[in-house]
A and B are shown apart, each in its own frame.
Chain A
């Protein structure tokens, strides 16, 4: 289970998250929507362990362990995955090499025997086919010169390989055309299972047509102000955020 309790976080003395609470049971998909500046991306980065943020109180629990006590890489191997809004370019490092390093770190932590190169190649081939990722793309330096769609597909490929318990998707739909969006959403849907949960951060209802959420939360000014089912997202699309924000005040 993934549970965020009374989380308060600030950056450069500006408080962003204010007593934020969220509970995600295994297998659930939670969508978080909200206007610009409501703290959605901060939430994702604080959970993953980005260092710029000052955390004054609260906890982020994954199966009973407070992730806030751990280094980012320790959180990752315990099953937290963040699909970046802006995947980072790493020149000179082939995607393949990067994937192998990441997978090795996970296997090492879980006490699993490292894959041989042929085994690894087979696994990659299998996983990349469904995401329409070419061999060529895997050989290129990580994210360098990738199109927006390629970058996001690559994020989903990594998610597929690393088999996390909790996936946080930070505006994965941004910069995607409709075909790429379908491909990415399809990749995510293939990963849905009874054990794995998702927090999908997005501005638009559109993504939720493809990744159907169990819960939709509206976030404003650092906390959740409204929770509902998928119809909340549809209503929101019609009315906009203002109705909800004003109601809250």
Chain B
């Protein structure tokens, strides 16, 4: 039928080349020698002026890494990357330890301005933008963290992790790798050996963080991997909402991003972690793009603690990430809300793990996968309950939406219950945006692309509602942009 034929043709000449963050900033950078070795690790550690224990910690991770193999169980295929062909450290010159915005290279400030990320505290204070504290990570270094002083007034620590290692070693030592062990997996081990920067957050007992905290990651340099490490600790009875955003220039080579994020929630604490991931997805031929191999895990360590992951994944050539919750404390709860959109040749294998260890623990998973173009989009999730996890409760809903005839959606749920009192529910649907739906919208004057965006936004409304309000609108627009050219 002509309509379907047309759709196929449109999908064939899909243009994902309208990635709007694809430009790069021309900056002189300082790099470590290419490749992975103990010397390079030492170089990074020296650059960060780390204490000796941290270097030893990195060496240990490196030793473990050498014994590990790259995982191959995910539903993604790509040529293996030569890890010796990457720069593990790249920093814009003269940016080490800027004390204030005035000391930052104006080119970097312009970069963030162009990305729409507010770094000027004055703008906030004047009420131009919403109250958000930002840590800006540029290649391997954090270039600025805003509102540090204001947050410090209530005892909150929000700083680059490289700074936390020096200034708050006790906290770092106590919590780093306590959620994601160094040898947890291949990429986590690699990250532990060579991580460069990221954010550190500590919320003291009974403090409700007065503003959104966020980190914006930008890969700028060529052939550089970004290995960031984020550690967030919410002490007893505290609350924090945190958002990360990511972009990178268009390049023909694939670039590696292997991050580790660890969250610790103590008694009655709550952490809300949102991600808007928009790394460069590669072009319409599937050339280039970021390999996004990320380990994110939250530990509900205290009783009645709560961790909630919300993610909007639209970028990256390959996404491999499973933000998870360890429900250790009694009465703790974990949530995972995800929108994963794949277009052109993007491949996504993403999902979550909810590990119920404590009594009366609850978890909820809402996953919305949208595939277009020739992409592959897989949900992979584990829900398990330990022998002692009395009354564990999970509800999972996995919905997939297909656009066009050349994409695929896969759902791979694992459920392991070792306790008779567990109640686990799993619901799944797969649907396709029909030509009838698009025609109906068009007949009312709504253009095709807007029609798709409208339908897709309706499809993932439940998850969009979970994003901090400031970002929900941005995310909605992003969904529209990601699907441009996906249907005829």
Q: What is A's interface to B at a CB cutoff of 8 Å?
A: 12, 48-54, 71-73, 75-77, 81-82, 84, 87-94, 97-98, 101-102, 105-106, 109, 141, 158, 162
B440 touches A90 (CB 8 A): yes
A94 to B442, CA, bound (A): 17
Nearest-Cβ distance from residue B26 to partner chain A, whole angstroms: 39
Chain B, Cβ-Cβ closest to A51 = B3
B414 contacts A by Cβ under 8 Å: no
A12 to B1, CA, bound (A): 7
A228 to B254, CA, bound (A): 71
A93 touches B440 (CB 8 A): no
B169 contacts A by Cβ under 8 Å: no
> Which of B439, B441, B444, B450 counts the most chain A CB atoms within 10 A?
B444
B454 touches A52 (CB 8 A): no
Show 10 A/B contacts (Cβ-Cβ < 8 Å), sorted by A: A48-B439, A51-B439, A73-B446, A88-B434, A88-B437, A90-B455, A92-B459, A93-B458, A101-B441, A105-B445
Nearest-Cβ distance from residue B466 to partner chain A, whole angstroms: 15
Question: A88-B436, A90-B458, A101-B454 known; A48 and B443 CB under 8 Å?
Answer: yes
A162 to B455, CA, bound (A): 20
Question: A76-B445, A84-B440 known; A51 and B454 CB under 8 Å?
Answer: no
A92 to B368, CA, bound (A): 12
Chain A residues with Cβ below 8 Å from B1 are: 12, 52
Chain A residues with Cβ below 8 Å from B437 are: 88-90
Chain A residues with Cβ below 8 Å from B166 are: none
Chain B, Cβ-Cβ closest to A45 = B439
A227 to B442, CA, bound (A): 32
Chain B residues with Cβ below 8 Å from A105 are: 444-447, 450
Count, chain B residues at interface, CB 8 A: 27
Nearest-Cβ distance from residue B461 to partner chain A, whole angstroms: 5
Q: What is B's interface to A at a CB cutoff of 8 Å?
A: 1-3, 6, 431, 434-437, 439-448, 450, 454-455, 457-461
Chain A residues with Cβ below 8 Å from B450 are: 101, 105
A73 touches B442 (CB 8 A): yes
Chain A, Cβ-Cβ closest to B368 = A92
Chain A, Cβ-Cβ closest to B444 = A102
Chain B residues with Cβ below 8 Å from A97 are: 454, 458
Chain A residues with Cβ below 8 Å from B446 are: 73, 101-102, 105
B447 touches A91 (CB 8 A): no
A98 touches B444 (CB 8 A): yes
Nearest-Cβ distance from residue B361 to partner chain A, whole angstroms: 30
A50 touches B445 (CB 8 A): no
B445 touches A87 (CB 8 A): no
Nearest-Cβ distance from residue A62 to partner chain B, whole angstroms: 14
Question: A51-B6, A52-B2 known; A88 and B445 CB under 8 Å?
Answer: no
A76 to B441, CA, bound (A): 10
Chain A residues with Cβ below 8 Å from B443 are: 48-49, 72-73, 75-76, 81-82, 84
A105 to B235, CA, bound (A): 50
A51 to B253, CA, bound (A): 40
Q: A52-B1, A72-B442 are in contact. List 8 more A-B contacts (CB 8 A).
A: A51-B3, A71-B448, A72-B439, A73-B442, A76-B445, A90-B440, A92-B461, A158-B444
